[in-house]
Amino acid sequence: MSDLDKATETQINNIEAKTGQSLSALTEIINASPLTKHSDLREMIIKEFNLGYGDANLLVHIAKKSAGPIISDEGEKSIEAVVSEIYSGKNASLISIHDEVMKRIQQLGDFEIAPKKKYLSLRRKKQFAMLGPGTKNRVELGLNMKGLEGTNRLESLPPGGMCQYRVFISNLSDVDDVLMSWIKTAYDSAG
């Protein structure tokens, strides 16, 4: 099972815990609805079960047996398809770093993955991180958090951007306890 499959499985388990409903029961509710548009079904699930966008989106995809759980900027695509595109060509060598970072983040708990064209947005109540290729030799991790002093490794970014800090990850050994402490701070502050 890939890290992304594990993330989806964890997300489903968390949805079941939040709603008190099994995946099959939630699927039946979606399929019994007279609504037909994906966006209408997603909104129904958000309202009825007080779920976030990503959780509701995943449920509708599963119920309708579509290719994947997330909407990207390019239209509906699975997480796996988007990650495969992001880490193709000159970025292919970075997938092992990406997978390790995602594996470690999944250990923190529940979050949503919202793929974009060139990176993954990781969210709880709000975005806490962005992960994607920085250059052909390193992965860029953007972090949303406040109150830390920038360092050579934890670069402070100008106000008004999508993230307050950035870290470049060049090899697996960079995915260490220091990096994870920064990610945990961002994760905790998101909700």
User: For residues 94 and 139, is the Cβ–Cβ distance under 8 A?
Assistant: yes
List own/partner pairs for 145-151 with CB under 8 A and 24 or more apart: 145/182, 145/185, 145/186, 145/189, 146/189, 148/182, 148/185
| pLDDT bracket for residue 77 (50, 70, 90) | low
Cβ-Cβ contacts under 8 Å for 123 (sequence gap 6 or more)? 52, 54, 111, 112, 114, 190
User: For residues 105 and 187, is the Cβ–Cβ distance under 8 A?
Assistant: yes
| pLDDT bracket for residue 75 (50, 70, 90) | very low
What's the mean pLDDT in 148-165? 89
N-to-C CA span, the chain: 28
Domains of the chain: 3-66 (no CATH), 91-189 (3.90.1150)
* Each residue's pLDDT tens digit, 96-131: 999 999 999 989 988 888 888 888 989 888 899 999
Q: Which of 68, 109, 104 is nearest to 85 (CA)?
A: 68
What's the mean pLDDT in 132-143? 91
